[in-house]
Chain A
Amino acid sequence: MDGIHDLGGRHGFGPVLHPDDEPIFHSDWEKTVLVMFPAMAMAGAFNLDEFRHGMEQIPPHDYITARYYEHWIDSMIHYGVERGVFDADELERRTQYYLNNPDEELLPSSKPEMVETLKGMIASGDDYHRPNDLPAKFATGDRVTVVDGPSLGHTRRPAYVRGRTGTIATLHGSYVYPDTNAMGEGEGSEYVYTVEFSGEELWGDEGANSTVYIDLWEPYLLPA
């Protein structure tokens, strides 16, 4: 979708404020939200691409003014309610309860098998490669133009490269295709390329002496 999340090249967001003493977690609730991601993914509430798509659907004003992990919370509730993990009324009722009783903490709980699963997950991560029987359409050095036009669902084809022409720098193999995986249309398998764009192609004179590299899936690309 053509949402506010697609920020590359937009003006008006001000300087990059980068405090040196930023903590890893700004509040204790951020720790819980971090771990709810694998927990809810394992519970079948969403896959990675759905999770990203959920965040893209946050209304623009909320998206740009919220704390980072609020995006996660929004997407978790969006899919959690849709997939029956949360009952919306019950969630609201409990939220009000904890708002009225802010000092009430949850009782400690234990799930040793999940700790073990997380250990393995942190050490090894996930594998997004998917086999593809077809040959890749492009090779290093080929000139390609990014498909122009709107996105109706989820995509990793940012506005700033649409319709622009670049050069294939690297072919990486075939991976889960976000555009279908986020929309309940299956993981698919598409080749991913790193594509090189000159700064001038993207930004005119402003882009002189700079180059942008971005990873794009094969269906985003047309021969130039």
Chain B
Amino acid sequence: MTTQGPHPVSGTFPRSDEEIAARVKAMESILVEKDFIASDAIDYMSSVFENELGPHLGARATARAWFDPEFKLFLLADATAACREIDIGGIQGEEMIVLENTEDVHNVVVCTLCSCYPWPVLGLPPNWYKYPAYRSRAVRDPRGVMAEFGFDPGDDVEVKVWDSSAELRYWVLPRRPEGTEGWSEEELAALVTRDSLLGLTDASAPE
């Protein structure tokens, strides 16, 4: 069955942004009075996620793996330790597992029950990763979802979907694009996108 109705979470929400902002101010004011939170802590942590953590870190690890075969073996054997070696790791990635895409296998990552996502290599998840359409369909119609990202892994390729239901965090090592022989790590990293680290597309092709 592929008939689909309108997306339920597309920007028209029952509560206004103003209503939610007022409720959050009310919560924060009580937590500040009880000394459970402070604005500098909010500024600090939100700034880390806005400015420091993001897909550029997963791209750096991927480029290193493409560039250095030993690092690639290490990353596939123990992603957490390999990433630590290049100063990547931490909250919501305490135990990471990297899935290698090959000619025959294409991996996709989802969390059907909530929003589990490898923060140390991708930062915070985008809304679509957390909303019902992706969570319901990625396990059942992964090819259809990939098509919506403009990608077709090919009929002969086995698609493996990883549902992150425990505290292990999965991400994908995309295939190194052809035509990148002799490229530097920095040049390679520029081809690695968030969507490719989730397995929804391949890495970008060189221009």
**A residues engaging B (CB < 8 A)?**
5-19, 22, 24-29, 31-36, 38-40, 42-43, 52, 55, 62, 64-68, 70, 73, 76-77, 80, 85-87, 90-92, 94-99, 102, 104-112, 114-115, 118-119, 121-128, 156, 158, 160, 172, 175-176, 192, 194, 202-203, 206-207, 209-217
28 inter-chain pairs at a CB distance below 8 angstroms, sorted by A residue, are A7-B112, A10-B132, A15-B148, A16-B149, A27-B21, A29-B21, A31-B50, A39-B37, A43-B34, A62-B14, A67-B127, A68-B130, A73-B20, A85-B31, A86-B30, A91-B23, A92-B26, A102-B22, A106-B29, A106-B39, A109-B37, A111-B41, A125-B93, A160-B139, A172-B168, A213-B161, A214-B162, A214-B163
Tally inter-chain residue pairs, CB-CB below 8 A. Answer: 304
Q: How large is the interface on B (under 10, 10 to 19, 20 to 34, 35 or more residues)?
A: 35 or more
The 10 closest A-B pairs by CB, nearest first: A8-B112, A111-B38, A31-B46, A94-B26, A215-B166, A98-B22, A14-B7, A109-B38, A39-B37, A125-B91
Contact A15 B45 (CB under 8 A): no
Task: List chain B residues, Cβ under 8 A from A122.
Answer: 45, 48, 53, 90-91
Interface centre among A94, A107, A125 (most CB of B within 10 A): A125
Task: List chain B residues, Cβ under 8 A from A26.
Answer: 127
Contact A9 B42, CB 8 Å, known A73-B24, A114-B37: no
Contact of B31 among A28, A39, A128, A211 (CB under 8 A): A39
Task: List chain B residues, Cβ under 8 A from A176.
Answer: 167
Contact B112 A211 (CB under 8 A): no
Contact of B113 among A29, A125, A158, A213 (CB under 8 A): A158
The answer to the question of B123 belonging to the interface, with a C-beta cut-off of 8 Å to chain A, is: yes
A134 to chain B, nearest CB (A): 19
Contact of A106 among B5, B28, B93, B157 (CB under 8 A): B28
Contact of B8 among A19, A28, A64, A125 (CB under 8 A): A64
Contact B8 A127 (CB under 8 A): no
Contact A175 B166 (CB under 8 A): yes
Task: List chain A residues, Cβ under 8 A from B14.
Answer: 62, 65-66
